[in-house]
Every structure is written in structure tokens, then in C-alpha cells.
Structure 1
Amino acid sequence: MRRRRDNVAGADESALRVVITIQHPGHVHFFRHPISVLRSRGHDVHVFARENDVAIELLEAYGIDHEVLAGESNGLFSLAAVQATYEMRLLRRARRIDPHVITAIGGVAAAHIASVLNTESLVFYDTEHASLITSLGYPFADVICTPACYRDELGSKQVRYQGYHELAYLHPNRFEPDRTVLEAVDLDPDDPFAVVRLSSWGASHDVGHEGFEKPARIVDRLEEAGVQVLLAAEGQPPADLKSYQFSTAPERMHDLLALADVVLSEGATTAAEAAVLGTPSVYVNPLSLGYTAELEEYGLCFEYTGRLRHARGVERAVSVLDESPATWERRREQLLEDRIDVTEFVTGQIEALAHPRTFDQPAQSVPDHP
């Protein structure tokens, strides 16, 4: 156990100093509500970020005070230099703050800096095959929180919980879709539509893998089935599909996922976001995950990872259009009955790790299924 820090003279003894590091747009979504809750309770929360896709744009859209410490990397080879810069600058800031807890998703920087400062590190993660991140971060972390369906056993520092990252920001306690987003993408309320998410395949765990060979065929097949297609391509869309790439504020993407008739995604996060919102999703990727497999058990996500995954995934996306909307509503209700509001879990873990005698103890690991 790390050493405990006393608060400055005259400060509220129960107030915490928390450092949160953001290195991906998904991290903004995950920590958005915990940041708000912690600050409302009087805790001092410092957010540091690295430019990556629309991460900074999201922080600004949500009005989250933050400091940018490093720019984007332009590939795997530059990532090491960018990460080193980020960690060096984070160390200087964190040393002045003297935090009780440093927390992050993946947690490479958080765990490293916490080890140097002899403070607590709290890591959240859900991606089993991201071996580079886990090998660099896990050995230095104090507590690693994973969904109960996470396939790897991490020993005594692992805390499992009945939820998914996506339920930190898409649980009905935290999110209600705004139907006016349809106007922004030139759709009428009664227009059936599909969201197709294409990945860039540039992440460290994507090396050696690839996506749809001819995305235009996917669009054609969905249009034949009677739905309009909105394309969300990570990076530049294929030249012949530029007209399908929609333009709206990044914080409104979840509104579209909630209102879509089906989501076809090469990315696991987008597929899971749609599923927990009650929109049937089809995940087409050679890499299976514990949470995508579990969402398939609920009948909300359909995972295709094999050799014929592209053709089979598209046909599944077409076939779910014939199902009644009540089917997905019923399945989502069952999911939400079994799973927790993850924001409450995150804030509870931060408070418990920092002040174990003041706040409730960290949640114990839970079985894989309720």
C-alpha cells in the first residue's frame, strides 16, 4: 500500500486530490460523469490529456477543465516518443499536485507516474488483446478494474464489476438521446438508417489485421435492404464513399447510435455503445473480446471474427432489420437489470482507494455472471 498524504492546512480532510489522464476520445466519455460527481463532492480533480483524434474537442465540448501535455502521434513508431513526452510532463504536474490517486483507462502513464511519486494508481481496462498496453501498465498499477466478463485473471490487484465501460456514460441514469441530431444529418424521424463504423486499424493491437476490403459493397447491400447509410470512418473515408460520411459534433455520435436501426462496426467500442443503448449491433473484427461476447449472449451484439466475417456480418445486419423494435427494448431492459451504473462504481473506487477509512471499501470482485 502506498503512503497516505495529508491535506494542506485548513483544507477539508475528506477532500481528495485526483489526477485523471486522457489519451483517447473514449476516455473522455468514460470519465466525464465521474469528474462531475467528484467535483460536486468537493474533490480537487486535475485532468491532463494528449491530443488523439477528437479527445480535446470532446473535453472542450463538455466543459471539462484540462491541460494538454502532448500532441498526436502519426503512427506506432512515433507513439513511444509522444508517450515519453506526455509522461515526463505529467510527472512534473503531478509532483506539484501531490495527488491521492492517479487514474486512467489502460493506465500506462498513470501507473508509471504513481509509482515514481509513491501514490495510488487506479486503472480501468477491458481489452484483453492489447498486450503492449497491459504489459507496460499492469505491473505498476495498484488496482486494476475490469468488467466481470474480462477473460484474463490478473491476481489480487484485479477488481471485477458487473458492467462495461460504456455504461459509465450511456446508462439511462446518465444519457437520454436527443432526436434533434437527425436534423443535423438530414434525416426525417421516420427514416430508417444504419451507422457503419470503419476503423483505421492503426492501434497497437490492430497490427496484422484489416477491415472490409470493399466497403462500398456494404453500403450497397444495406441500401438494397431499404435503409439509408451514415458512414463514420476513422480517418479519411474511402474516396467512393465520401458522400456517406456524416458531419456532426463528436459528442452527438451516441444520439445517432441510439436512434439507428442497426449499427455495423469494425470497432468494438462502437458496437458495444450501440448494444447498451438497445440498438442491434454487428461487430466485424478478427479480435474477440469478453464484453462483445457477453453482449452477444444478451442478443444485442452479433460478433463475427472468422474467415467469412465480412459477408456474414453484413447479412446479419440486414436480417436484424426485420425484427420488431420491441425485441431490442426487451433485451436492453434485461441487460440493465443485470448491470450497474458504472459511474457510481468509478467514483466509489477512487474515493475508497484514497481514503479507505473515510469512504466505503473498494468493491470486491464479482462472479462472471449474476
Structure 2
Amino acid sequence: MRVVITIQHPGHVHFFRNPIEELDARGHEVHVFARESDVAIALLEAYDIDHEVLAGESDSLLSLATVQATYETRLLARARRIDPDVITAIGGVAAAHVASVLRTKSVVFYDTEHATLITKLAYPFADAICTPACYRDDVGSSQVRYPGYHELAYLHPNRFDPDPAVLESVGLDPDDSFAVVRLSSWEASHDVGHGGFDDPREAIDRLEESGLEVLLSAEGEPPADLEPYQFSTRPERLHDLLAHAEIVVSEGATTATEAAVLGTPAVYVNPLSLGYTAELEAEYGLLFGCNGDDRHARALEAIDDVLAASAETWAERRERLLEERIDVTAFVVEQIESHARAREANPTPATTLR
């Protein structure tokens, strides 16, 4: 079977890298196309994933429209030559559009309810829209719900074993206790008008007062007085670091969720709640969502509460999560293969479009 996978964000690389490996091992022909976005290309190279870059980065909402148009046009040209059985993506705007033109199958994975621009552009054209079971929206007959989270495609213990050697790379000893703080740039299309901490320095002070070393990861430039806390490691090693931290404090949902599924308690500071962050909080107690106008004060309180709990608390909660949630890579591969078989059983050749 011929599969096209599109990558437009670093998180997409993590999500698809295991399915790519498994599809390839099963003898399928996999083509990966990407656009430059933060460290996405660096991750593709780090994981030795063969790919072609079709477009550069965007630095504003206006330029994003131009970049997206370029990306879709070039993706259409490549896919027309490949004649894939399935085109798949996270979000899936380009994938769904190109697949509909070529009359092939599109499988879209998504978990962000408030990204309404993406969903309006992609969902009407997609053959399958795969969402976590906790996704709050009903998007119709094309929706396929599964008991898991995007992050379990690459952080499930079947797929990931944290490497403690990462500690040395950031100047820590094995016995050091530390926290990871992740600050967002708030420049994504679905982040406009939102923000996290009033002053992240207060959270860092609170963590240091508890005896933790603080490692800061920031999108863009952090405030000048926080620069000494920034650390440098290869992007593919961040998950090793999250797994060994005592606590993760994040303005971004993905980093908070990655920590939570690894069993590291996460304080998520963001005005918006998502289906999966709410479930990780209500069902498993591994994430503490701080939204609303008082989110800054609530985050400081949540940090204190997390640090007062025992390590066994988080291990037990993660064990229950893994008992009730699936290895998402297996689900991704099953969806791609089943839709490819459906297309092979009832092909609509794209030869007239070439």
C-alpha cells in the first residue's frame, strides 16, 4: 500500500515516527512530506526519517495562509505522481484537501477542540476523523473515537523507555531533583488572545524554594532575567527529561500531557481547557489545569500541592491510566491500513488528474 504522511509541527513527528517504522516494516510504501516549523525538520533528521520539505516557516497569521497554499500545491503535485491509497496527518487541512482532489482516502487525527479554523477547513473533506474518546465535539459519522491520547503514540511504555543519561547532558547528577518549566510563545493560530502566567518568575521562585533545580524551555525569547534557567538538549531528548522530573509546569497542553502520561505530575497554566487535559485531571489526577482569570494564583497553589504528595502517588495513577488507555501507535497503523484496503477494494484511479 502507498501511504503519504504530512508533517507540519514537531509534535507530528513524534506522533507518526512509530507508525512510519511499523508501516515500513510491514512492506508498505511510505512517503513523508513536511514544512519547516520550529524543530520539526531537526526531529525528522534525528529519527532518520526520509522526507521532503515542501514549504518554509510562517511568522504571522498572514504569512501562514501563503505558506499553507504553497504546501498544499506542492503536496498535490507529489501525491498525484504517487497515487497513494491513504493520506494522513494531524489536523489534516492539506491532507484532506489533496486526498479529496485525488479521490483517495484521508485519515485525520486531531485532539484540539478550540482550533476551529483547522477543523472547519479539514473535517468536511476527511474520510476518517480520529479523536480521543474524551474529545468534546461530535463531528459526525466520519468520527472514530479511541481510548487514548496523541502522546501515547510515542510515550506508551511499549514505545518509549526513558534514558537517564539525559541528566548529564543538562548538567544534572542522577540524585538531583528538578522541575521543567515550559513557556509558550502564544503565536499559533489557535493561541491568539490567550496567555498563561502573569509572571513566570513567581513559579520559578516557588519551585526553587522547595529545593528543586529549574530547567526552562521557552518558545521564542524568554524574559531576560529567566535566560539563566534555559537548558539545551537535542529536541528528541526532551521526553527523557520530562520522565525524570519531579514536576512539570507548562503553558502548553502537549508538554503537560506528555509529562502526565509519563507519570510526572503536570501543572497546566492556560486559559483553555481541552477534553484530554480535563480527563487527565478528573480521571487520573496526573494533570492540574489552571485556567480562568485566577490561573496564575491557582498554579502556584497547585505546585505546592504536587510537591507535598509522594512519588508513589503518581506511579499508581499512571499505572491505572496505562491499564485503561491504549498503545495509540497500533490504532494509527490499523486505521491507515483499513482505509487503504477500502480504497484498494474500490479504487477510483487518479490517472485523469495527472
Q: Give the 3-state SS of the residue equivalent to 2:141 in structure 1.
A: helix
2:323 alignment counterpart:
337
Q: Secondary structure of 1:47's match?
A: strand
Q: Which runs of 5+ in 1 are unaligned?
A: 1-15, 360-370
> 1:187, 1:317 → 2: CA distance?
22
- Among 70, 91, 95, the residue aligned to 1:85: 70
**Is the 1:263–1:317 contact (alpha carbons within 8 Å) kept by the matching residues of 2?**
no
Q: Does 1:296 align with 2:291?
A: no
Aligned to 2:147: 162
Q: Are 2:180 and 1:180 aligned?
A: no
2:195 is aligned with 1:210: yes
Corresponding pairs, count: 344
1:302 aligned partner, one-letter code: F
Which amino acid is 2:292 matched to? G
Q: Which moved more, 1:291-300 or 1:215-224?
A: 215-224
1:194-238 CA distance string (max 9 Å, x none) = 100100100111111122232222211111111111001011121
Match of 1:311 in 2: 297
Between the aligned partners of 1:98 and 1:358, the Cα distance in structure 2 is 11
Letter in 2 for 1:355: R
> Cα gap change, 1:177/1:98 in structure 2, threshold over 3 Å: closer, same or farther?
same
| SS of corresponding position for 1:19 | strand
Number of the residue aligned with 2:257: 272
Residue 237 of structure 1, aligned match among 216, 222, 233: 222
Which of these residues, 57, 81, 86, is aligned with residue 96 of structure 1? 81
1:251 to 236, 240, 244: 236
**Whole-Å separation in 1 of the counterparts to 2:304 and 2:234:** 28
For 1:216 and 1:28, locate their aligned partners in 2 and report how far apart those are by CA, in whole Å: 31
Matched residue of 1:189: which SS?
coil
Which amino acid in 2 is paired with 1:154? V
Specify the SS of the correspondent of 1:275: helix
Match of 1:123 among 103, 108, 111: 108
Residue type of the alignment partner of 2:153: A
The amino acid across from 1:49 in the alignment is A
What TM-score results when the alignment is normalised by the length of structure 2?
Answer: 0.96
Task: Work out the CA distance in 2 between the residues paired with 1:88 and 1:22.
Answer: 15
Secondary structure of residue in 2 paired with 1:18: strand
Structure 2 contact 216–231 (Cα < 8 Å) conserved: yes
d(CA) in 1 for partners of 2:55, 2:80: 18
- 1:357 Cα deviation from its structure 2 partner: 9.5
CA shift for structure 1 position 352: 0.3
- In structure 1, C-alpha distance between the alignment counterparts of 2:201 and 2:307, rounded to whole Å: 19
TM-score (norm 1): 0.92
The residue number in structure 1 matching 2:308 is 322
Rounded to whole Å, the distance in 1 between the matches of 2:106 and 2:344 is: 18
2:315 counterpart letter in structure 1:
E
Corresponding position of 1:5 = none
The CA RMSD over aligned residues, in Å, is 1.1
The secondary structure found in structure 2 opposite 1:317 is helix
Q: Residues 41-60 of structure 1, C-alpha deviation per residue, up to 9 Å, x if partnerless?
A: 00000000000000000000
On the 8 A contact 1:115/1:140 being kept in 2, the answer is yes
2:75 counterpart letter in structure 1: L
Which whole-Å CA distance do the structure 1 matches of 2:5 and 2:343 have between them? 22
How far apart, CA to CA, are the structure 2 residues paired with 1:101 and 1:236? Answer: 39
Q: For residue 114 of structure 1, what is the aligned residue in structure 2?
A: 99
Q: Which runs of 5+ in 2 are unaligned?
A: 346-354
CA distance in 1, matches of 2:236, 2:304: 27
Alignment of 1:352 with 2:329, yes or no, is no
Work out the CA distance in 2 between the residues paired with 1:358 and 1:170: 32
